Amino acid sequence: DDPIRLLQSLGGSNITPEYSPSAGEIILRNSEPLQSRILLDEVDIPYLYHFQQYASVIHTRMLSNVSLFPSAFDTQYGNVSGGVIDVETHVPNEQVPHISTNVNFVMAGLYASVPLKKGVLSTSARASCAHLYEEGNDQYSNWPKFYDYLLRYDLRHPTSTPLSISLMGAGDTYT
């Protein structure tokens, strides 16, 4: 249920150790962590995973494409020597409203899209729930607590170029 986590298992990629100073940063082609770029809809984002490896910060329903360029990438991605992770969100159906929820032992989430007069509004929100029923264990003395959200409005007009506006946020704390 988290395709972005697959990046961790691909050849040429590695994640820094969980409790290191650069925890959770992606290493591509054995370069320094800051020598790789992570993009969401062509905008740099600081990290892809809650608590360095726990879960990605983007709801699966919002994903359209996840691309990994470990080498030989275009100059449009700038001056990095490691690689590029390019995540694209999808444009929801403009005709049909949609709502879905998901709950497991780690997190609960909601996704919704609603067609509007001149476009479509989509949103996703997730929050951890393990801290509600678990106070700590051998691995975590303080249980991880996180949230993320993504709000997107796609303006569609038959005679103009499509325009999308997004608002994204995420946070991690320990209980």
57: which DSSP letter? S
pLDDT at position 24 is: 59
| CA pair distance 144, 174, nearest whole angstrom | 5
Q: Which helix (H) or strand (E) holds 102?
A: strand 98-103
C-alpha torsion sign, points 67, 72, 76, 81: positive
| CA pair distance 111, 125, nearest whole angstrom | 7
Closest CA to 10 of 35, 25, 27: 27
**pLDDT digit string (tens) for the chain, length 175 residues:** 777 777 777 777 776 665 555 555 677 777 776 778 888 888 888 877 777 667 788 888 888 898 888 777 777 777 777 788 888 988 887 788 999 999 988 889 999 999 998 899 999 999 988 778 766 667 666 777 899 999 999 998 777 788 889 999 998 887 6
Is the CB of residue 3 less than 8 Å from the CB of residue 60? yes
User: Nearest 5°: phi and psi at 158?
Assistant: -60, -25
